[in-house]
Structure formats: structure tokens, C-alpha cells
Structure 1
Amino acid sequence: MSEIIDARGLSCPQPVLVTLNRVATVEKGTLEILVDTEASRENVCRAAQAKGWSLDSVDAVDGGEYRITISKG
């Protein structure tokens, strides 16, 4: 089961920082990050991949929000 990080409503760079703080403490698994801007979507994806996480999917959900699924291990 994946863990959900809700970064909706946060201004950049907060969604990236929240994501990076969590990936720093997880050795392997799946995380789902919820964001509500295109900039946050792009920045979170790039930051997670830079830390060695795989980008599994990026899905647009209702209202201009995005669900980013990343995994490691």
C-alpha cells in the first residue's frame, strides 16, 4: 500500500520540500503525492527522480489537481 502526501494548497517550493523530506526517510516503497499546480507537478517529479525514485505515473484528477506516483526498491 502506498503512502499519500497531500501537498495541495502549498506554494512552491513547499510541495518539493515535503516530498524530499519524506523520500529521505523511506528506503523503498511507493508514495503518492497530490499537488494542485503544473509547476508543483513538474518540480516534484524532477526532485524525486533526482533522488533516485522512479516516476510511475502522473494522473490529472478533477479540478486541475495531479496525483504523482513514485517508487523505489
Structure 2
Amino acid sequence: MIEVDARGLSCPEPVILTMNAMKKGGSESIKVTVSNTVARDNICSLAKKRKRTATAQRVGDDFVIEIA
């Protein structure tokens, strides 16, 4: 599993980091941690566009998105 820590970053940075992880890892699962709802929503949309599933959950003050 590839882990991306994008906490504290504003869009489009978390999306770019996630896209890079998708390219690097191929079909490997990815875990992305972000600190705002906009980044969460944008990463979930990216996963859907790439025909991958994304599940997001709140963990403390952050959101953890798992992309399969």
C-alpha cells in the first residue's frame, strides 16, 4: 500500500500527489490522509474518474481515503 500524507495542503496539491502515487503504483492500493473536505471530495472524484473505488472516513481532525 502506498501512503500519501497531504495534511495541511490545499488543492490541487493533494490531488497531484495522489495522481503521482497512482502512476507510480499502478493498481496498488493507496491511502491518502488530508485535512479538509475539499481535498477529500476531489480525491474521491479522481478515483472515480480512474475507475477505482475510494472510501473516506474521518479520523480525528483528518480524513483518510483508501483507494483500491
Q: Give the TM-score of the pair, scaled to structure 2.
A: 0.90
Structure with a larger share of its residues in helix: 2
Runs of 5+ unmatched residues, structure 2: none
How much identity, in percent, do the aligned residues show?
A: 29
Structure with a larger share of its residues in strand: 1
Q: Which residue of 1 aligns with 2:41?
A: 42
Aligned length in residues: 68
Q: Give the TM-score of the pair, scaled to structure 1.
A: 0.84
CA deviation profile, 1:18-72 (whole Å, cap 9, x unmatched): 10111122222211000000000000110122122212x2110112x1000001x
Runs of 5+ unmatched residues, structure 1: none
Q: Which residue of 2 aligns with 1:60?
A: 58
RMSD: 1.0
Aligned residue for 1:29, secondary structure, equals coil
Query: Where in structure 1 do 4 or more consecutive aligned residues deviate above 3 Å?
Result: none
Q: Which residue of 2 aligns with 1:28?
A: 27
Residue type at the aligned position of 1:66: F
